[in-house]
Structures are given as C-alpha cells and as structure tokens.
Amino acid sequence: FITKTPPAAVLIREAHQRAPALPTLLVTGYASETSDVPAEVPRIEKPFRSAELLARIAQLEGTASA
C-alpha cells in the first residue's frame, strides 16, 4: 500500500486484527511521521537499495515461518 491517509498505523493495526501472523514491513520516506506505528513493526526508510529490501523481506519470511 502507498498511502498518506489512512495513516500507516491504522492499516497495520487492521491488518493484524484480521491476520495476526501477517508479516508487516513499513516502507516510508516520512520517518518523522511514523511515531504512531508500534516500535516492534519492522521498517525500512527510503531511499534504500533493492538488496536491503530483499534482506528485510527474507527476515520477515523467516519470522513468519518460525
């Protein structure tokens, strides 16, 4: 999802209510605007390299399958 409205925190909370085991990665270019997102939600800030994104996704997949 690419969004400014509703806030990322709302989308993440609703997604986890529907599917608690759903891995979530917050991708943002607005790090200063993510204070309402729980600290345990993994995030990656723009700009990032493809390899960084792939590594974060691999980490999430490892968490999801554990």
The rounded distance, in Å, linking the Cα atoms of 19 and 28 is: 22
Residue 44 has pLDDT above 70, yes or no: yes
Residue 41 has pLDDT above 80, yes or no: yes
Report the pLDDT value the prediction gives residue 48, as an integer from 0 to 100. Answer: 95
Q: Are 32 and 14 in contact (CB under 8 A)?
A: no
Structure token pair of residue 55: 């590594």
Structure token pair of residue 35: 């204070």
Q: What values do phi and psi take at 32, rounded to 5?
A: -70, -15
